[in-house]
Chains A and B, each alone.
Chain A
């Protein structure tokens, strides 16, 4: 109990310091466009369900952003995990894909913006599923394929790299032990490589989601968006509403940290063997 309490105190020192510096600087600046006070920003959270600058409530914007990120992330992960596993498993597959992946990896996802727009245009989940015009259409029209693509690109590379590394670093003794116990190639793949690499795979998924989420603001700068935390930030900036910009930033940071802690909990619960194995 005492220990958890100490840990909490230690982890709160720097955030508290940041808040103090922020508030002092805000008083110094005396200009809400440059830096609003903590109170101004807090106000936004207290009235979170208000309709902000015509974009709807904060929870709604977070919801829209979450759906965007999760759909891009899902697509990225569905390709990245099998590819990473196969690249780790087979030298040949690795050689086929590695150069290709390495060329695209250093390109920041946002650099894809113009191309994404040119390729996917205004296509959205609504047009993809041929929805009839109506309330549903308007809602799902918010989720442009170009955005999903950008976020998917962001998630893809860290997941591929981590998964491949995880599968490659499975100790040879474990594979050999399984073989002499009579494992088939399929057993080796599903009952040895995948579980042995699971902690790295989870770590890749975690980093991938963090990066996908960090691509949000850039993805939501694409035209055709009228909701989402990223768009809220861009639009608030245009209206010189710095307090709303900061509100949006805090939302992104908070939700990102929350998503990350979900992965940490999963990793601690199911993969604690990894850190404890010498």
Chain B
């Protein structure tokens, strides 16, 4: 299978205030085939966000390279979308205008982009909230809008940085189901960062387990449980405990 994202020998060093070196990532290598749902799992501070930001082109690598469809990728572009953990909506735009923002940047005419935005608004089940402003929405609703905004741009790759981290357990489960449905429907390559073992086992085709100091890949596990996955499935429980044990040693 053709790979969509390829990461080669990626290294990222930050310098702290007192010029101390912080090695956020070292020798990261990653192949993400087309239409894969990849989860990156790891303790906080292990460099997950940094990896995603470099893939998005928001941050420069210290060394190593990122390829998208075989070409080196260094700058953000609309083919690679990203959903942040929280508070990423433009507070001065209403929900519809937020969803349509990427299309506005792309020069899509107003009636056309509004029609598309409405379609995604319906998809996230918020048809009545088009004119609402972000401050009028709960955290879960804001996050749904952020996802709709990323999807409305019809990106090829979707990078998601703990997008459900700020949500309550119930909303989170609903959103996970919803995301899988969209992924199956629209066929996208998704790199999904989380520190929740359960979330990773529920969502992923494959899990990359990272460990910190310095951030690197510790293990790779393919999840072959057929979807929709039942949390009561014994295989599900086994994988979860295995990963938890690995995380503890990470």
User: Which residues of A pack against B, CB within 8 Å?
Assistant: 171, 173-174, 176-184, 187, 191-192, 195-196, 198, 271, 273-274, 276-278
A178: chain B residues at CB < 8 Å are 90, 101, 105
Are B105 and A174 in touch, CB under 8 angstroms? no
Identify the closest chain A residue to B56 (Cβ): A180
A–B complex contacts, Cβ < 8 Å, 27 sampled: A173-B88, A176-B76, A176-B82, A176-B88, A177-B82, A177-B90, A177-B146, A178-B101, A179-B58, A180-B78, A180-B82, A181-B78, A181-B101, A181-B102, A181-B105, A181-B149, A181-B150, A181-B153, A182-B77, A182-B78, A182-B105, A182-B153, A187-B105, A191-B101, A273-B133, A273-B134, A276-B133
User: Within the assembled complex, what's the spacing in Å between the Cα atoms of A212 and B63?
Assistant: 53
A171: chain B residues at CB < 8 Å are 87
Residues A273 and B91 in contact in the complex (CB < 8 Å), given A176-B84, A180-B58, A180-B76: yes
Identify the closest chain B residue to A274 (Cβ): B91
A271: chain B residues at CB < 8 Å are 92
A179: chain B residues at CB < 8 Å are 57-58, 76
A173: chain B residues at CB < 8 Å are 84, 87-88
B136: chain A residues at CB < 8 Å are 276
A193 CB to closest chain B CB (Å) equals 11
User: Within the assembled complex, what's the spacing in Å between the Cα atoms of A150 and B149?
Assistant: 49
B142 CB to closest chain A CB (Å) equals 10
Are A180 and B87 in touch, CB under 8 angstroms? no
Does B81 interact with chain A (Cβ within 8 Å)? yes
User: Within the assembled complex, what's the spacing in Å between the Cα atoms of A177 and B83?
Assistant: 8
Q: Which of B53, B104, B105, B134 has the most CB of A within 10 A?
A: B105
Are B80 and A192 in touch, CB under 8 angstroms? no
Identify the closest chain B residue to A180 (Cβ): B82
User: Which residues of B pack against A, CB within 8 Å?
Assistant: 53, 56-58, 76-78, 80-82, 84, 87-92, 101-102, 104-106, 133-136, 146, 149-150, 153, 159
Are A191 and B56 in touch, CB under 8 angstroms? no
User: Within the assembled complex, what's the spacing in Å between the Cα atoms of A182 and B152?
Assistant: 12
Are B87 and A198 in touch, CB under 8 angstroms? no
User: Within the assembled complex, what's the spacing in Å between the Cα atoms of A177 and B105?
Assistant: 12
A141 CB to closest chain B CB (Å) equals 45
Identify the closest chain B residue to A172 (Cβ): B58
Residues A183 and B135 in contact in the complex (CB < 8 Å), given A177-B84, A273-B91: no
User: Within the assembled complex, what's the spacing in Å between the Cα atoms of A277 and B91?
Assistant: 7
Residues A174 and B90 in contact in the complex (CB < 8 Å), given A179-B58, A181-B153, A182-B76: yes
Are A182 and B134 in touch, CB under 8 angstroms? no
Q: Which of A176, A178, A181, A183 has the most CB of B within 10 A?
A: A181
Identify the closest chain A residue to B159 (Cβ): A180
User: Within the assembled complex, what's the spacing in Å between the Cα atoms of A191 and B106?
Assistant: 13
Are A196 and B90 in touch, CB under 8 angstroms? yes
B102: chain A residues at CB < 8 Å are 181-182
B80: chain A residues at CB < 8 Å are 180
A182: chain B residues at CB < 8 Å are 76-78, 102, 105-106, 153
User: Within the assembled complex, what's the spacing in Å between the Cα atoms of A196 and B88?
Assistant: 12
User: Within the assembled complex, what's the spacing in Å between the Cα atoms of A98 and B174?
Assistant: 51
B153: chain A residues at CB < 8 Å are 181-182
